[in-house]
Every structure is written in C-alpha cells, then in structure tokens.
Structure 1
Amino acid sequence: MSQLPASTKVIVIGGGIIGSSTAYYLAKRGVPTLLCEKGLIGAEQSGRNQGWVRAQKRDAQEMPLIRESLRIWNDLERQLGQSVGFKQTGILTVFKRDEEAEACESWLANTCPDDIVARIVSGAELRALLPGASRPWACGLYSPNDGRAEPSLAAAAYASAARALGAQIVVSCAVRGIETRAGRICGVVTELGPVSCEAVVLAGGVWSSLFCNNMGLRLPQLKTMSSLVRAYPLEGAPKTSIKGPDFSIRTRHDGGFTIGYGAWNRTEIVPDSFRYLVDYLPMILTGGNNVRLRLGRRTLAELFQKSRWRMDEQTPFEQTRVLDPVPSLYDLRQAQRNISREFPVFANMRVAATWAGLIDVMPDTKPVIGAVDTIPGFFISSGYSGHGFGIGPAAGHLTADLVTSEKPIVDPSPFTFNRLSSVKRQPAFAQ
C-alpha cells in the first residue's frame, strides 16, 4: 500500500518487531492504526539480531517483560497464523572455572523468579548439552525453557497479522516529524504527505534519537554493532543455544546455525558520542571487553548527516532507507575460529551468509517505553539495548496498553522517559 489515509487514531513509526507488534496489539483492540516504515519491515536490527529469547541473566526490572513474552512466544504462531520459528531449545552459558559462575548463582538466588526454570549444571549433564566439545567446561548456567525465534520472520509476521486486523502498513514512507495543536499531538508529516492522528508511537530503533533531536527532545541513545555468521546444517553439532566467553551459537529453524563472536560490541565514534558523553562515561570507563570504540564509516556519515530539518525537505530517513553496516571481518573470522576450536565439527562449516546490525543502546541498558509528558499523545518505545527481540511481544503489548490507557501487561515504571534525567547507568552494555 502506498496511499496514506487522511486520518487515523494512532501512527506507529518504525516497522521492526517493536513497532509491528505494537501495531498488531492496537489493531487487535479495534484501534485504527497506521504503521509507517521508511524502508522495509524488519530490515534493520529486528531482522539482524541473534534470535535469542531468554529469561536467563535478565535484569530484574526486565524480568516481567520476558516472562510475559515467553508466554506469548509459545502461542504466537497460532495467534498470528504464521511461522516465527520459535522453539524452546534451551540456552546454556558456559564457564571455564567454577568461580566465574558466582554472578549467575547470585542471579539465581536474588533475581530469577520461581516460575523461571534455570540452574547451574556440571558433570554428565553439562557434557550431554555439549556434544562434540573439544574441552571440558567447569560448569554452566542452563535455562531449558528459553529458546530462539527467527528474526527474519517475526516482525513480518506481526505486521502481516496487524494488516489482517485492519491496520494500514506503509513501507518506503518516512515520517519527517510530528504536528501539534495546543501542545498535543494532532498528526505527522510524512514524505508522502500529512496524516492526522491522536497519538504517535516512535519505535524507530537506532533512528529514534535523531527523530527526537529534531523535536527538541533529548533521548541519549547510541548505536553499537554486532557481526554474525550463518552456517549451513552440520551433523553432530549442539542443538542447545550456547554462549561462551568468546563465541555464541544458536540453532536455526532451517537446521543451520547463527554464530557470533560475542567478546565485545563495536561502537563507532559519532557526534552523539560527544553529545551524550556524560551519560555513557561510566560504561566507557568500566566496559572492559564489552565496549570497543573506533572511528569508522558511520563516523563520517553522521558527521555530515542532518541533525535538524524542515517538514518540507528530505530527511536522513529518506536518504538511508535501510542501515546495512559492513560487518567486521575480524569479528567474523574470530567467530568461525572460536566455534571451530570449541566444537571441531565446525571446522567443516559452510558459510551461507554474513551480516551486521546496529543496536539501539541506552545508558542503563533498559528501554524507554511510555509517554513523553511534555507532548501529550507522543509515546516512545525504543532503546532496547540488544534485548528487544526476545521481549518484543510483551513490549509491543505494553506499548499498546499505554497508548490506549488500558491496564498494562507489566509495571511500566522502570521504563519511563522521565527517568533519563536521573538514570543510574550500568557499567557495561549487556546483550
């Protein structure tokens, strides 16, 4: 569809899993909804992530979101009538020494709720989860009810189901900005023309901070890059998704594997790095192997990128429809080398594809989900810090709850926009 309606009730900006699921849960309630995506549905990080759906090691404040999301994921294919590739394969984090698992034991004791199954494993049980491993691991944290879904399927399935319920989904249509009347949202201006509405949800992923900046809103969000490898199926490889100190692997619905390096996240230095330096300084100073700053292609691209624009001129969203970063060759080689070292069967792997994605990161690694009080009718659902795919179903549900003033699926107070002025920053980005 390329023709816009003159008016609707809610406009969702962004067609990743958050925007698409929000549109679905709004449409399911009969709310007239328009989703505008500048490129294609699920074409950026929502379709480029590792596909983990995990409660394991989840932050206490995000735990309610993943609990609800796991419940939704288990029934999502029936609800949407389409495949999303979800399966409870279990997730295992492995450790070389017993003392490395102390933080996991603390998480089990203090954060993991009784209805989330997770435990420390060792000995024969651990070996059974690691067929073909080249070395003995001391122990691991195993969560058998965690699983995976396919990023290439999930956002598109939500968008298709939303359309079937009456939502209008328009791709290749960038929203240039919002319009207000008496300080309240009354519409948006898109590259195809204006649309009147009562509420707007910004679910723009890594583009959200730039969109807010043009509105005079400060959303201290940065980008970090992850590079991944897709390998064809191999007999004798593990079926459980595994995270090690310098590798990660998950099984895919087609029998293949998605493999990552996992030792750090590459963050290019851009103008926002200086604009939000105070917010991220604790993360930078104590990030250890989790954060690697560098100059790169985005440094120049964003240096010359517009940070403000008028509604009648082309925006950065139209100039770059889909962010398609060049993956790190070093990270790709390390990922293949490390997984082959741990599981020799992968020495014979055939690589089907490589890619990279940009993750929208917040200083405290928690998303913003909620209203912007200074602009009634404007909501943000962004900054998921690498966690958005797994918690996407409940996050979209929660966003729809807040827009419609219905009872929220979980307590939204940890995710308010207002918290950013006094946020307690985490020492490192957690994926």
Structure 2
Amino acid sequence: MNTHASHKTHADVIIVGGGIMGCSTAFFLRKRGLSVVLLERNMTGQQASGTNFGGVRRQGRALPQLAMSNRSLRIWRASRELLGSDIEFLPSGHTRVAYHAHDAEYFSEYARQARDYGLDLEVLQGAAMRRRFPFLGPDVLAASISPLDGHANPRLAAPAFARAAAALGADIRENAPVRRVERTATGFRVETLDGESLLAERLAICAGAWSQALAAQFGEAAPLTVRGPQMAVTEPVPYVFRSSMGVYTSIKEESIYFRQIPRGNLILGGGPPGPADAATSRAAVLPENTLAQLRQFRRLVPGVAPLHIIRVWSGVESYMPDGEPIIGRSGTTDGLYYAFGFSGAGFQIGPGVGETMAELIATGRSEIDLQPFSIERFNLAGTPAPTPAQRSPQGAPPSPTAAQS
C-alpha cells in the first residue's frame, strides 16, 4: 500500500476507481498531457471490469450508446499498438439469436435503426441461417450478425490500460481505498484510508458499485443496485466457434451467451444474477444458476452436451434502474465527473468512455452527446422507468438478467 501521509500530492485530475473506465480515462488524460493520480481500493480490473464475459460487441445496445460504442471499437482494434501489450482482442464477430417470432422480427427493425448510427448488421432466418450456423438447435428462428465485433480478455484489459497510463507518467495506486472526498476552494481533496490527502483541480469518480456513496457526498442520487454475473468456463475442445453468441430474449431463464477462446475453452454467462455485496466486495455463483446455464447452452447448441464445467466465478457489478450508465459532469459540483453504473454492459464501451471522459475533462466538451447519461436524470426527475428503446446487452428489455458484456 502507498503511504504518503506526511505530505500532500497534487495533480490535475484524481480518478477514483481502477476498472476499465478509470484506467482508460487515466491513459487518455496522460495522452493529453494532464497529470493524473488514480486510486483503486483493491487491484486494477479486479471487480466488474475483470469478471465479466469479455464481449466486445455493439449490437443490442440502446441507440444512444452506439456513438460511444463505435469509438470504443476503434480503440479495441488498435489496442495492441496503443497499449504495447496483447489483451486478446479477437474481431471474431458477434451473433445474437432468437427463439420467438416477435424477437426475430425485432432483429430487422433494430438493424434498420442501427444503420443510422454506423452499425451494419446481417439478419438471417430459415435455411440461410442454418447454412451459416449448422450447429444451432431447432428452437432458433433467426440470427443477427455483427461481423466487426468480437471479444477480449477482461482479466488483461484494465491492467493493460493502467500500465500504459503509468508508462506515460500517471500515478496508479492499488490497495488505496478512499475515505472521503470533498470540494475545496481550488478543487478537490481526497483522503485515503491511510490518511494521505491528495489535491486536484478535477475529480473523476469511476468506482462502479462503490460510486453511490461518493456521489452522495456531493448531494447527488445514484440509485444503483449490485448484482453478481454468473460466469462459467468449460474444459477445452477444438476451436470451432469463431463468433461470440447470445440469445435475445425477455425471458430471463432463456438467457445464455458464450464465446470460445483459441485455447479451446468455452466461456458462458447469462440467466438470473447471483447475490453481490459492495460492502464486502463479494459476489457468489449459485449452483442452480450454473445448472440452468448448461440446460440453456445445450438448447442453443445441442452438440456441447458432453462438455464439463471446470470453473465458475462472479464479481460485483452496478446496475441503474433504467439500464443506462452515468457518464459526464456532476449536476451539483464544478470539476466533478462520473463514469459508472454500466449495468453489466461496460466492458466493450469502456475504452470509448475513457477517451470521451478525457476529452470532456481536458477541453470542457465532448464530440459525443452525453445528455442521455447525465446523473441529473435521477436528481431532477426521480428514478426513470425503462423504455422500450432501452435494451439489455443482448438486446432484450432491461431485466435482472441483463447480459454481461
């Protein structure tokens, strides 16, 4: 742990939270020449950013997120050169499938709408779909394919951004939990648990499930809840599934998504979430959820029936009541910025959020409209209800089983 209680550290920006949002924000701020201190309560990428499915996919997102998602994909594609390390991004494509006629019809409508936002999708049904994906079960009616999307390794991504930011001069501090944040006459003071005081003109809160308490210190509501993704991995088999794939459905029991890594293992997620607790930083996988995942996986791809699960895991994720994240300026405090509450869909969009946050903090403006993600939507109007246009990561209406990206 860092111990600097005898003096005060000063920076242009302090970032609280070392997930993919905070680490990518630190990286892009240093690219713009601002001094940065990042404080992470545990290890970078340890919770939601490192325990999610690893999907790098745009389709199924609410339309207002697509500009950020497109920006993020450009970063993913350049990640090896940009970060100087391999985070195992594979542009293998992303496919979502439907069991129900009304869901299959929605694929074409969503593809039409998404085209206006720079996302081109291919929708297949019937014989054409069977030729492309002969391994799918008989219940599948249609498939929507996003050929430029893919997946990456969530255990590698946030730490790689942290290392790259540190190489540019950012002060990255792990095992540095924050006790208190406050506005001062010239900026912000952040006090760590070991008693150090840090000063900065600007403050960015990117602390995931732990952001609610920090926002409250500035009089802002962030009505998030915490849940634990139910993740599993199989024994390795020959590498045959190039595209990551998920079921589009509003029936939570049917939700399943999977991807295969070149080593051969298949990574699974979906279904009802498990319990999570921000106070203890713990989340659990329920055995009945894993068994239900296996049943749904076999329904989707009958040929995987003989496979064995070799490991399960979870993490603490934060969910907003309307399914949309909080990104942008504080509504109460100048110089304060937020990026949290990504409702199980933050991994793909994370690098784009970091670049956008850096742009906003450094220049006072953003090329991307952040109004749909303002924290003021809760402070001014109470808790909004989900709308039909707001979709979970696999494209279903927001629900407790929204798929991790």
Tell me, yes or no, whether TM beats 0.5: yes
Aligned to 1:274: none
Q: Sort the Cα spacing of 1:346 and 1:208 in 2 relative to 1 into closer, same or farther, 3 A.
A: same
Distance apart, 1:135 and its partner CA = 2.5
Distance apart, 1:377 and its partner CA = 1.7
Q: Sort the Cα spacing of 1:401 and 1:353 in 2 relative to 1 into closer, same or farther, 3 A.
A: same
Rounded Cα–Cα distance in structure 2 between residues aligned with 1:208 and 1:415: 15
Aligned to 2:17: 14
Q: Which amino acid aligns with 1:173?
A: A
Rounded Cα–Cα distance in structure 1 between residues aligned with 2:139 and 2:265: 24
Aligned to 2:395: none
TM-score normalised by structure 1 residue count: 0.82
Rounded Cα–Cα distance in structure 2 between residues aligned with 1:165 and 1:104: 43
Q: Sort the Cα spacing of 1:164 and 1:236 in 2 relative to 1 into closer, same or farther, 3 A.
A: closer
- For the Cα contact (< 8 Å) 1:209–1:221, is it kept in 2? yes
Aligned to 1:143: 146
Aligned to 1:366: 324
TM-score normalised by structure 2 residue count: 0.87
1:425 aligns with 2:372: no
Q: Percent identity?
A: 29
- For the Cα contact (< 8 Å) 1:69–1:394, is it kept in 2? yes
Q: Which amino acid aligns with 2:174?
A: V
Greater mean deviation of Cα atoms: 224-233 or 344-353 = 344-353
Rounded Cα–Cα distance in structure 2 between residues aligned with 1:152 and 1:76: 15
Rounded Cα–Cα distance in structure 2 between residues aligned with 1:59 and 1:214: 30
Rounded Cα–Cα distance in structure 2 between residues aligned with 1:47 and 1:253: 19
Distance apart, 1:222 and its partner CA = 1.2
Greater mean deviation of Cα atoms: 413-422 or 156-165 = 413-422
Rounded Cα–Cα distance in structure 1 between residues aligned with 2:231 and 2:64: 28
Aligned to 1:219: 222
1:263 aligns with 2:223: no
More helix by share: 1
- For the Cα contact (< 8 Å) 2:226–2:317, is it kept in 1? yes
Q: Sort the Cα spacing of 1:331 and 1:221 in 2 relative to 1 into closer, same or farther, 3 A.
A: same
What secondary structure does 1:198 align onto? strand
Runs of 4+ in 1 over 6 A off after TM superposition: none
Which of 337, 348, 352 matches 1:394?
A: 352
In structure 2, the gaps of 5 or more residues are 248-253, 388-397
Which of 357, 370, 379 matches 1:412?
A: 370
What secondary structure does 2:190 align onto? strand
Aligned to 2:190: 188
1:248 aligns with 2:260: no
Aligned to 1:116: 119
- For the Cα contact (< 8 Å) 2:218–2:332, is it kept in 1? no
Q: Sort the Cα spacing of 1:213 and 1:179 in 2 relative to 1 into closer, same or farther, 3 A.
A: closer
Rounded Cα–Cα distance in structure 2 between residues aligned with 1:75 and 1:139: 32
Which of 133, 138, 142 matches 1:130?
A: 133
- For the Cα contact (< 8 Å) 2:272–2:289, is it kept in 1? no
Aligned to 2:77: 74
What are the residue-to-residue correspondences of 1:304-343 with 2, within 5 Å? 320=280, 323-343=281-301
**What RMSD in Å do the two structures reach over aligned CA positions?**
2.2
- For the Cα contact (< 8 Å) 2:114–2:120, is it kept in 1? no
1:165 aligns with 2:174: no
What secondary structure does 2:187 align onto? strand
Q: Sort the Cα spacing of 1:20 and 1:236 in 2 relative to 1 into closer, same or farther, 3 A.
A: closer
Q: Sort the Cα spacing of 1:373 and 1:153 in 2 relative to 1 into closer, same or farther, 3 A.
A: same
Which of 87, 92, 97 matches 2:95?
A: 92
What secondary structure does 1:61 align onto? helix
What secondary structure does 1:348 align onto? coil
| Matched pairs, number | 379
Q: Which amino acid aligns with 2:113?
A: N
Greater mean deviation of Cα atoms: 326-335 or 165-174 = 326-335
Rounded Cα–Cα distance in structure 2 between residues aligned with 1:360 and 1:85: 25
C-alpha distance after superposition, 1:56-75 (max 9, x if no partner): 12211101011111111111
- For the Cα contact (< 8 Å) 2:40–2:175, is it kept in 1? yes
Q: Sort the Cα spacing of 1:180 and 1:95 in 2 relative to 1 into closer, same or farther, 3 A.
A: closer
1:54 aligns with 2:12: no
What are the residue-to-residue correspondences of 1:266-305 with 2, within 5 Å? 266=274, 298=277
What secondary structure does 2:348 align onto? helix
Q: Sort the Cα spacing of 1:78 and 1:424 in 2 relative to 1 into closer, same or farther, 3 A.
A: same
- For the Cα contact (< 8 Å) 2:227–2:283, is it kept in 1? no
What secondary structure does 2:347 align onto? helix
C-alpha distance after superposition, 1:166-188 (max 9, x if no partner): 00111110111213224x63321
Distance apart, 1:47 and its partner CA = 0.4
